[in-house]
């Protein structure tokens, strides 16, 4: 089985030379995903809105890879401000409450001005 690279068309992928997702067999590794709306080249100000957009971007990437959110087995959460962890966690629960992937949350400085959250997921396509 060959490796498949997936691009979302984000300017950041071109800038840094990476893929939105790499598919290797049934494994899908999605790159860190911000809350940028790449179609409109915008970034909402609030952490809740950024988290929701990041999840939409992830959902789109998984769909391109032939997977769904239910296939997510790990999520890494990068948050710029410790005070935002609970708000981000609440949004994540809306999506992952029944899925329950492994989760690591890190408070850190973001790569781009205005970013408050970045999510990275690993998924495994189950053969049901």
β-strands 27-30, 21-24: how paired? Answer: antiparallel
Q: Quick one: pLDDT at residue 102? A: 98
Give the start-end residues of each E strand in 1-128. Answer: 4-6, 21-24, 27-30, 33-34, 36-37, 42-43, 72-79, 102-107, 117-124
CA gap 94, 33 in Å, rounded:
18
- pLDDT tens, position by position, 31-88: 998 998 888 888 899 999 999 999 999 999 999 999 999 999 999 999 999 999 999 9
What secondary structure letter does DSSP report for 26? T
Per-residue model confidence (pLDDT) at position 12: 80
Which whole number is the average pLDDT over 107-113?
A: 93
User: Within 13 Å, how many C-alpha atoms sit on residue 31's CB side?
Assistant: 16
In degrees, to the nearest 5, what angle opens at C-alpha 17 toward C-alphas 16 and 22?
Answer: 120
Domains and CATH numbers, the chain: 4-124 (3.30.1330.40)
Is the pLDDT at 127 greater than 80? The verdict is no
């Amino acid at each position: 089985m060959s490796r498949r690279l997936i691009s979302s068309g984000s300017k950041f992928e071109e800038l840094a030379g990476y893929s939105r997702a790499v598919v290797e067999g049934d494994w899908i590794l999605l790159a860190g995903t911000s809350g940028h709306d790449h179609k409109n080249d915008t970034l909402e100000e609030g952490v809740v809105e950024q988290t929701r957009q990041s999840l939409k971007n992830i959902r789109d990437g998984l769909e391109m890879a032939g997977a769904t959110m239910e296939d997510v087995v790990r999520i890494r959460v990068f948050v710029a401000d410790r005070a935002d962890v609970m708000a981000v966690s609440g949004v994540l629960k809306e999506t992952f409450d029944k899925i329950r992937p492994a989760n690591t949350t890190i408070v850190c400085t973001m790569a781009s001005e205005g970013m408050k959250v970045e999510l990275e997921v690993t998924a495994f396509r189950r053969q049901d």
